[in-house]
Chains A and B, each alone.
Chain A
Amino acid sequence: MDLTILIISLAKIAVVLTVLFTCVAYVVWLERKVAGRIQNRWGPHRTGPFGLLQPAADFLKALFKEDFTPAQVQRPIYFLAPFLAMTLALMSIAVIPFGENVTIAGRTIFFEITDLNIGLLYIFAVTSLGVYGIALAGWSSGSKYSLMGGLRSSAQMISYELGLGFAVVGVLILSGTLSLRGIVNAQSGFWFGIIPKWYIWPQFVGFLVYLTAAFAETNRTPFDLPEAEGELVGGFHTEYSSLKFAMFFTAEYTNMITVACLATLLFFGGWMAPLPWAWVQHVPALVLLGMAALMTRTALRTYRLERRKSYFAVPGLAGIVGLIGLAFLHPVFAAVAAPMFWFASKVFVFLFLYIWVRWSVPRFRYDQLMHLGWKVLLPVAAANILITGLVVAL
């Protein structure tokens, strides 16, 4: 094996994992912040500017908590389960392309860890294994609440995996490839010079089924029955504490990010810009500079009102955001980073949607969940496949 390829791959894995962990940390922060605003309170705001250091504080807290192991657990599996959950969640990020390939100085840079021909199937394979982490955790804890949570989650994930798989088939029929990069490239161009040729338009039904099934697959509200706190204490992770609990937590948010990335790639044209005109390439710079200006304004205002020195951290943050915004004005940087900007923005919208739904919609009852999965989503997805196939054949 070529040594340079090995080194480049390792470097890429390191970079992607670092970015992923940072994203997970700040999705948790975003969740708490948005939850706070939806419930008419502030959310974390004491650790750092806007509570931005909260993830670090949370991590330290998890680290220093007592790692308690109940007496009745099934030994090896109880320790294996959180590792399984987190490893499988992290594995699926390997095939997700973040941006367009660019060639700089004769060397093509690929914006993903690896481009498999069967990228989509790989993700389905890894997510279908993800249920073991939860099921085994529930079983090995030796507690009835955990067992109930594990059972529910196995049943739920088997049921909704079918819907998830069926929802995607329509996209596959249209694009004719299983490679995620291929699927995104098939969505380039515009109808009538303005509507982007994203699969959300021809596959709207498929998208709705995908979105619903994705909520269930990631155990998020309204389908978070495996950890319904009102009836099951903490569900499958009741008996886990300290870092082992943090691993389940990381796995859940990583899965959320993966599913959001996949929705972006399959239905929203991945890293493609949403509008055809030339000035769209300046949008990233404008957005980032605007954010920097807003942050500076908040910082100055808060300082004038409260004289709190801690808010001097904010102009520093605003400076970093502003510098990135200025870098976008340089054509080479923009060519590399603009696709990633669009990709990140779309993923952010999905993550926000997840959080929004979680704090707005009540939980389903278990029989309603099964009814929705088997008797609504599956037939609708199957009909969608039939109609798409028919239209493509004609």
Chain B
Amino acid sequence: MDKVLFLIFAGIAVGAAANLLRSRHPIHSALSLIGVMGALAVLYLLLGAEFIAAVQVIVYAGAIMVLFVFTIMLLNAGAEVPTSGSMLARYLGIPLLALLLLQLVRLLLGQYPPDQASSFGTFVGPTEKIGRLLFTQYLLPFEVTSVLILVAVMGAVVLAGRKP
């Protein structure tokens, strides 16, 4: 059951990602990206990390992608015109991609042998535990990230408020 669900949602994630690259229209690409994120959230859920799954949906699918879609709608971006592309990409693209995937698989199998792979429901981490870790062990990265975001927000405000 778990394996079947994993295959289904991993398939959806990969399919949506491929569709993201294939689509000519920005909105379709954005929707595909939402599909990828939703499928990833389900994969987290299968691993037992329900908090991470919920946050994945709330933050990425529910907030960031809404902004993407909002911007695309606001600019009213139309479909892209395909360029002819370079000869190099046309003939070497797929072989190089296959090579990259093979390398990744080899690397991951070497790093995590099949008997050590995390199984379903491994990360049964209650929300409380995640919060505690975030404010003790990972306090510095957490605070640095928030300062970084604050700086980004200030930058956006300054740029938006500048008189031409």
Contact = CB atoms under 8 A, between A and B. Distances in A.
A178 B127 contact: yes
B41 to A, nearest CB: 8
Interface stretch (A150-158, A185-193, A274-282, A292-300): A150-158
Contacts of B34: 132
Interface string B49-78: 011001101100111001101100110100
Contacts of A171: none
B63 A158 contact: yes
A81 to B, nearest CB: 11
Interface string A104-137: 0000000000001110011011101101100110
Contact of B70 (A129, A155, A178): A155
Contacts of A129: 57, 61-62
Contact of A151 (B27, B73, B127): B73
Interface in A140-195: 147, 150-151, 154-155, 157-158, 161, 176, 178
B73 A138 contact: yes
A1 interface: yes
**Most A C-beta atoms less than 10 A away, residue of B1, B50, B62, B74:** B62
Give chain B's interface secondary structure class: helix
Contacts of B50: 116-118
Interface residues of A, number: 29
A121 B74 contact: no
A210 interface: no
A161 B63 contact: yes
Contact of A121 (B31, B54, B66, B67): B54
B126 interface: yes
Contact of A125 (B28, B62, B126): B62
A154 B66 CA distance: 7
A77 B31 contact: yes
B104 to A, nearest CB: 30
B66 A132 contact: yes
A342 interface: no
B66 A124 contact: no
A180 B27 CA distance: 36
B73 A118 contact: no
A164 B145 CA distance: 23
A118 B63 contact: no
A117 B126 contact: yes
A139 interface: yes
Interface in B21-58: 27-28, 31, 34, 50-51, 54-55, 57-58
B43 to A, nearest CB: 15
A248 to B, nearest CB: 18
Contacts of B74: 151
A116 to B, nearest CB: 7
A176 B69 CA distance: 35
Contact of B73 (A121, A128, A139): A139
A121 B58 contact: yes
B69 A136 contact: yes
B66 A135 contact: yes
B57 A132 contact: no
A176 B126 CA distance: 12
Contacts of A138: 73
Contacts of A154: 66, 69-70, 73
B61 A128 contact: yes
Nearest to A138: B73
B126 A132 contact: no
Nearest to A1: B1
A121 B131 CA distance: 14
Nearest to A147: B73
Contacts of B63: 128, 158, 161
- 3 A-B pairs closest in CB distance: A128-B62, A121-B54, A125-B57
Interface of B: 1, 27-28, 31, 34, 50-51, 54-55, 57-58, 61-63, 66-67, 69-70, 73-74, 76, 126-128
10 contacts: A121-B54, A121-B127, A128-B61, A128-B63, A129-B62, A135-B70, A151-B70, A151-B74, A154-B66, A158-B63
